[in-house]
Structure 1
Amino acid sequence: MTHDIYQEVQRALDRAVAEDGVPGIVAEIHDAGETWLGTAGVADLASGRRRRPGEYLHIGSSGKAFTAATVLALAAEGRLSLDDPVSAWLPGVMEAGGYDGDKITVRHLLNHTGGLFLTGLAPELLMSMISWPPPVWTPSELIRLAVSQPPVAGPGERFVYSNGGYYLAGAIIEKVTGDSYAAAVERAVIRPLGLAQTYVRPADATGYPGPHPTGYVTTALKDGVDPAALTAENWASMIDYERPPTDVTALNTSWGWAAGGVVSTTEDLARFLKAIATGTLLPPPQHHEMWTMVDADGAGWLPHARYGLGVIEFDSAALDGLTVRGVSGTLPGSFTLALTTDDGHRSVVIHANIEPKTLNVATDIIKAVYGVSLA
C-alpha cells in the first residue's frame, strides 16, 4: 500500500477531530503483511493523553458477529440448526410477547428478519441508561425486554434491526451448551483464533484490564421528551446533539450482552474479521450461511450495505466489483468499523471514543483504503 493512502487516511482522521467533534480516533490498516496505525485527537480530554496501539475497546454491535459465529460453530457440530424454530430451544418465551416462536427461526434472529421491535428504543432501556447508578441487566431481564413490545413485521418479511434477536440467540447458545454465553464465545471463537485481548465484558464491569480510551457522549434526549414516545421514525428528532462531552467510560454495558458485549483491540478485531471473511474460522457451509445477505435498505447504515448473520457486506456493484466485508458497532462512548476485502488482503479498523454525528470519516476512509466512493 502506498504512503499516499496512509496520508489520505490521516487527513480523514484529522478532519474527524477538527470538523466532526470526535475527541480521539484511530485507524489500523493491514495490507500484504504491513501494518500502519494512524491517530488523531486524544484518548482523554482531561489529561490530553494520546490514542495508542493496543487499547482495549468496547466494540458494541460488532460483537454480534461473535454471537453469530458461535451459533454457526454449534450448527457445524450438529448441535442445532439455523432452521430450528426458537420455540424448540426457548419454549413459550416468544409467545409471551405475542410472537410465534414456531415460525421464527434461529436464522431470523441472526439476520434481523424475525419481526422483533427495535429493542434499543424500549423506554425501560433508555431510562436505565440515563439513571445513576445504572442498573445491571441480567440475561433473563434482557430476554423479557426483547419481547416486551408487539411484532413490527412477520417472520422473514423484512429486515428490522433489533438487539432483542441477539438476546434470544445468546439464550439459545446457553441452552445448547449448558454453559454461559461468555464461555461459549471463548470456546468457539476467541481461543481458536488466539485473540488474547478479546473477551465478553462481565455484566457488572466498569473498567478495562489495560490501556483504553475515555468514552464520551454529547447527546441526550431533549428536555421534556418522554422515552415512551420514541419510535424508529422520530427518535433522531428527539435527540439533543449539542451537549458538552460527558465521560461514560465507567458505565456498565450489561444491556449489550449477546447483542454487543465484546471488548477487543484493533489488532484482534482485524484478525477476527479476516478469519470470518475468508472462511478460516468456520466450515464452508456455515461460512456461506454467515455471508448470505438480506437487504437492509433504510437501516440508517453506510450506503449500499447489506446484512448477513452478524456481519455487513457492501454491494460490489457500488464498489466497482470489489467485495468488502465488515462489522460495525456503536454504543455510548464508542464507534467501531472494521472492513476487509473478501480475500483478507487489505483491512482497516476504525475506532472513535464517541458516537460520530456523521458517517463522513467512515466513507472518507473507505474511499482512501479501497479507492471507491459510497456516494
Structure 2
Amino acid sequence: MSETDVQRALDWAVAEGGVPGIVADIRDGDRRWFGAAGVADLETGAPRRPGEYAHTGSGGKAFIATVLLALAAESGLSIDDPVNTWLPGVLDRNGYDGDKITIRHLLSNTSGLFSTGMAPELTSRYATRAAFAEHRFDAFTTEQLLAMTVSQPPVGAPGERFEYSNGGFYVAEALIEKVTGNSLAEEIERRIIQPLGLTDTSVRSAQDARYPDPHPRAYSTLFYKDGTDPAAVTPENWESVMEEPGLDPLDVTEYNTSWAPANVVSTTGDMIRFVGALAGGTLLPPEQHRAMWTTVSTEGGNWTPHTRYGLGVFEFDRAATGGLTLRGVGGSFWGCLFYTVGTADGEHTLSLQTNTEWKSWDVLFRVIDAEFGVRLNG
C-alpha cells in the first residue's frame, strides 16, 4: 500500500480518465489518509474536500438488504419466503411468479427480473440532454416503480442466473414497509444510522433533489445520441448508442433520484463505517452475516467485473485479488460513482467517489490496486 501510488491513481483519473474530481478516503487500523484530485466545481475551480455529501447510488441496496436481514433475525420473516407471502400478487404478471421468487432472489439479483435500470419508463426521461432538462425533477411513486419492475418479461427462471436489477430492491423496500408498518427511511435510521453513529447519512425524500453542504457539483455525459429509441436499448448494445466523446459535461447536481433504491445520501467517512461493519460482521447476527456474504457469480449480468454478488453487497473474486478477500458496496448513475471496499475484518477500508458516473473500470481498479496491492487492472 502506497499513498503516493493512490494519489497517482487519483491524478490519472482526472488527467486521463474523464473525471472532473475524485476523492479517496482510507481507514486502515489507526492509519487515516484522504486524497483528492480535480475539482468539485468546474466553474469556480473549487477543490474536492473531506466530508462532502454525495448520493450512494446503488450502494443503497446494501441498506435495504441489511434491514431485511435484521428483520429475518427477529421475526417470522425468512429470506427464503416467496414474495407472495408478504406482497401477494405484486409480481404476478408478464411471466413472473411471486410464488417462486423469494426475498433472497430479490436481494441477490437472481430473481429473473429484467435490468430495470434499462426500462424505457426510466431511460426516456434522462436518455438525452433535452429529455434530462425536461424531466430532471420528475418523481416516481412506489406504484410506478413496482409497475416498471415487471414491465418487461423475465430474463430467466428464479435462481437461474444473475441479472443486475433495481426492481428487486423496489419490491424489497415495499416488503419492508408492509412488514414493519414503517417507512424504509425510519427502519434505516433505527437499524443502521443510529447504531453506527452515521451522522452524515440520510434517506432523501422522494421530493428532494438537494444535497447538504459541502457537496461537489455533479457532471454527466451519460446520454444517448439524438434520435435513439430508448425502448431499443439493451444491456448488450447500450454503449453503441451513447453520445460521441468530447462533448462538455452537463451539470446534473440537482435532479430527482426517487427511483434509486433506498435513495441514500452519505459521505466517504460514513460509508467506511457502514461497510466496515457489514464486512466485519458487527452489524448483523452471524447467521444473517453469512447469508449476506454468500455470493453468486456476476458473469454476464451487467455488473462490476471480477466480482461475486451477495445480498446487496459484492466481493471481488479471489482469483483476481491474489487470494485477498475484498468486500464492498457501490454503484454509479448520472453524475456520481461511489464505491467503498474493504477487507473481511472491516479494519482496512477505502471509499472512493467521483462527481461523474462510471467512465471505465480503470478509475476504480487503479485506486483499489494501489491501496490493497492487488491487480484488478491487469
Q: Secondary structure of the residue that 2:188 maps to in structure 1?
A: helix
Q: How does 1:286-305 map to 2 (within 5 A)?
A: 286-305=288-307
Identity of aligned residues (%): 56
The residue aligned with 1:245 is: 249
Give the letter for the 1:28 counterpart: D
Q: How far off is 1:108 after superposition?
A: 0.2
Q: How far off is 1:241 after superposition?
A: 4.6
Task: Give the distance between the partners of 2:365 and 2:222, measured in 1 at CA.
Answer: 22
Q: How does 1:81-230 map to 2 (within 5 A)?
A: 81-129=78-126, 130-131=131-132, 132-134=134-136, 135-230=138-233
Task: Give the distance between the partners of 1:293 and 1:205, measured in 2 at CA.
Answer: 34
The residue aligned with 1:32 is: 29
Give the letter for the 2:114 counterpart: F
Deviations 1:277-299 (A, max 9, x none): 01000000000000000010123
Deviations 1:50-90 (A, max 9, x none): 11111111010011101100000100112411011001111
Where does structure 2 lack aligned partners over 5 or more consecutive residues?
Answer: none
Q: How far off is 1:300 after superposition?
A: 4.5
The residue aligned with 1:308 is: 310
Aligned 8 A contact 2:333 2:358 in 1: no
Q: How far off is 1:303 after superposition?
A: 3.1
Instruction: Give the stretch that moved more between structures: 139-148 or 284-293.
Output: 139-148
Count of aligned residue pairs for this structure pair: 370
Aligned 8 A contact 1:79 1:176 in 2: no
Task: Give the distance between the partners of 2:52 and 2:266, measured in 1 at CA.
Answer: 8
Q: Which of residues 63, 66, 82 in structure 2 aligns to 1:66?
A: 63
Q: How far off is 1:331 after superposition?
A: 1.1
Task: Give the distance between the partners of 1:300 and 1:227, measured in 2 at CA.
Answer: 17
Q: How far off is 1:99 after superposition?
A: 0.6
Cα distance change, pair 79–184 in 1 and its aligned pair in 2 (3 A): farther
Task: Give the distance between the partners of 2:122 and 2:249, measured in 1 at CA.
Answer: 22
Q: Which of residues 264, 268, 278 in structure 2 aligns to 1:266?
A: 268
Aligned 8 A contact 1:220 1:241 in 2: no
What TM-score comes out, normalization by structure 2 length? 0.95
Task: Give the distance between the partners of 1:361 and 1:345, measured in 2 at CA.
Answer: 23
Deviations 1:197-217 (A, max 9, x none): 101111111211221011100
Asked if 1:14 corresponds to 2:11, the answer is: yes
Q: Which of residues 265, 285, 306 in structure 2 aligns to 1:283?
A: 285
Cα distance change, pair 302–101 in 1 and its aligned pair in 2 (3 A): closer
Deviations 1:147-179 (A, max 9, x none): 111111001000011000000000000001101
Q: Secondary structure of the residue that 1:36 maps to in structure 2?
A: strand
Where does structure 1 lack aligned partners over 5 or more consecutive residues?
Answer: none
Asked if 1:256 corresponds to 2:257, the answer is: no
Cα distance change, pair 109–302 in 1 and its aligned pair in 2 (3 A): closer
Give the letter for the 1:268 counterpart: D
Aligned 8 A contact 1:22 1:354 in 2: yes
Q: Indicate the RMSD between aligned Cα atoms, in angstroms.
A: 1.2
Aligned 8 A contact 1:55 1:265 in 2: yes
Aligned 8 A contact 1:20 1:356 in 2: no
